[in-house]
Amino acid sequence: MEKKEFDARLARDHCMEYGMVVGILCSASFLCSMYGSTSLLLGQLGNVLGIVAFVTAGNLIRHYGRKMGQLTFGRSCYMAMLIYVFAIMVVAVVQYIYFRYLDAGRLANQVEQIMQMPEYRQWMEQFTAGQDVDEMVGQIMRMTRNPERITLQLVWMNLIFALLLMVPTALMGKRK
C-alpha cells in the first residue's frame, strides 16, 4: 500500500466525521453524568464514556495515519484539535437542548441546595474576600437558570479540556 502525502482538506473532512463520533460519545457521557445524581451506575457510565471518547479520538487518528500516510506529531495535534472542536459543536447542541427542554430546573435546584449549606457559605465568604456572598450566589443562580449562558460556559470549559487533551490524544494517535 502506497503512503500518500498529507492532504489538510481530506484530514479536515475526516476530522468532521471523527468529531461526530467523539461528540456523540461525549454527549452520552454528559447525559449520563447529568442523570448520575439519581443513579450511581449512570454517573459511572458517564465517566467511562468520557474516557472512551478520548481513546476513540486517538484510535481514529492512528487509523487515519495508517490509511493515509505517516502523520507527524504536529499533524496529529492538528487532527486532534479539529476532532475536539467538531465534537464540542455536537455536545453544545445536546447541552443546549438538555438545559432548555429536559432539565426543568434540576441543576439550578441542586446548585441552590449546595449553596445553602453552611460549610459552603463559609468557604464562599473566605474565597470572596469581602465581596457580598449573597450577590455572588444570585449571579450563579441566574446563570444556572439560563440555558444559553450555561451552554456557553460549558463550551469554554470544553475548549480548555480540548487544549489539555490535544497532546495526549496526538501521542496516542502516533503510537505504533
* pLDDT tens sequence for the chain (176 residues): 455 677 888 999 999 999 999 999 999 999 999 888 788 899 999 999 999 999 999 999 999 999 887 788 999 999 999 999 999 999 999 999 999 998 877 887 777 777 778 887 777 777 777 677 777 777 777 777 888 999 999 999 999 999 999 999 999 987 66
The rounded distance, in Å, linking the Cα atoms of 12 and 5 is 14
Cα-based angle 88, 92, 98 (whole degrees, multiple of 5): 145
List of residues 6+ apart from 166 with CB closer than 8 A: 77, 80, 81, 84
Q: What is the pTM of this model?
A: 0.84
User: What local confidence, expressed as pLDDT, does residue 121 receive?
Assistant: 76
The rounded distance, in Å, linking the Cα atoms of 7 and 24 is 26
The rounded distance, in Å, linking the Cα atoms of 173 and 169 is 6
For the stretch 120-163, pLDDT in tens is: 777 777 777 767 777 777 777 777 788 899 999 999 999 999 99
The rounded distance, in Å, linking the Cα atoms of 69 and 5 is 7
User: What local confidence, expressed as pLDDT, does residue 5 receive?
Assistant: 75
Q: Which of 70, 47, 72, 59 is nearest to 21 (CA)?
A: 59
Domain locations along the chain = 8-103+158-174, 106-144
Q: Does residue 71 contact residue 64 with C-beta atoms inside 8 Å?
A: yes
Q: Which of 55, 89, 63, 59 is nearest to 165 (CA)?
A: 55
Q: Which of 66, 59, 63, 82 is nearest to 8 (CA)?
A: 82
Q: Does residue 15 contact residue 79 with C-beta atoms inside 8 Å?
A: yes
